[in-house]
Amino acid sequence: MSLSPTDGLDLKVYLLDCPEGLILFDTGYMPEDIETIGKAISEMGRGWRDVKLILLTHGHGDHIGNLARIKELTGADVASGEGEMRDIEEETGVKVDRGLRHGDYIDLCGGIEAIHVPGHTVGNLSFYLFRQRAIIAGDTIFGDEDGNLHPPPDRYSLDAYTAKRELKRLLFYDFDILLLSHGRNLLRDAKRKVKMLCEAT
């Protein structure tokens, strides 16, 4: 779902409806974003307490700004990249229940695998959804309104060279859909376009 723009960029977070409950990927950062997320949950016939897990792609403010309030509303467990657990806890006051490493498997919703793609931040993650053959990219990849893909901008990245070099980690997964935090989602042929991006960077 689309939330308040940040620094001139669009921003999206994602809800995954599973038999075990809802999984929320990132939290947005503006107070009004909480209302937007709550409305989406309601439209799914669910309530806040149906959110069982919050998966954070990384610790930038636009992705974790509402974590404390959403944790209060949901009581959900929180997971992030292992390398950013302390920073996120200090920034938000919320305990991170699980630190994820590359390849860690989450046995919910048909299976989710954490993909550690360092560079944008130390613990930056994308998530592979086995059942949907989709990757929730977070800030590993940015896009524009025309569907063109780009590495994360240098000015937002801790180590821009590594962020570009490690994009190839996504190519080890069988995906057709790419869901972005910033930019237009690719709903087909996504792996080929990510491969083209990797070859160009």
Mean pLDDT of the chain: 96
The pLDDT, as a whole number, for residue 1 is 87
pLDDT band at residue 7 under the 50/70/90 scheme: confident
3 falls in which pLDDT band (50, 70, 90)? Answer: confident
Q: How far apart are CA 157 and CA 155, in angstroms?
A: 6
Q: Identify whether 110 is part of a domain.
A: yes
Task: State the Cα–Cα distance between residues 120 and 201, nearest whole angstrom.
Answer: 15
Q: Which domain holds residue 56?
A: 14-200
pLDDT for 95: 98
Q: Answer whether residue 141 is part of any domain.
A: yes
Question: Does 6 map to a domain?
Answer: no
Q: Is 127's pLDDT higher than 80?
A: yes
In-domain check, residue 8: no
Q: Are 49 and 22 in contact (CB under 8 A)?
A: no
Alpha-carbon radius of gyration of the chain: 15
**143: in domain:** yes
pLDDT for position 5: 80
Give the model confidence (pLDDT) of 66-103 as tens digits: 999 999 999 999 999 999 999 999 999 999 999 999 99
User: pLDDT tens-digit profile of 138-175?
Assistant: 999 999 989 899 999 999 999 999 999 999 999 999 99
pLDDT of residue 9: 80
DSSP string across 56-94: -S---HHHHTTHHHHHHHH--EEEEEGGGHHHHHHHHS-
Closest residue by Cα to residue 25 from 92, 112, 105 = 112
Distance CA 199, CA 201 (A): 6
Is 3 contained in some domain? Answer: no
The CATH number assigned to the domain holding 108 equals 3.60.15.10
**Which amino acid, 23?**
I
**Percent of the chain residues topping a pLDDT of 70:** 100
Provide the token pair at 78.
């929180």
**Mean per-residue pLDDT, 108-115:** 97
- Per the confidence metrics, is the pTM higher than 0.95? yes
Q: Is residue 80 part of a domain?
A: yes
pLDDT for 84: 97
| 57 within domain boundaries | yes
Q: Specify the number of domains making up the chain.
A: 1
Tokens found for residue 46: 């669910």
pLDDT digits (tens, 9 = 90+) for 50-74: 999 999 999 999 999 999 999 999 9
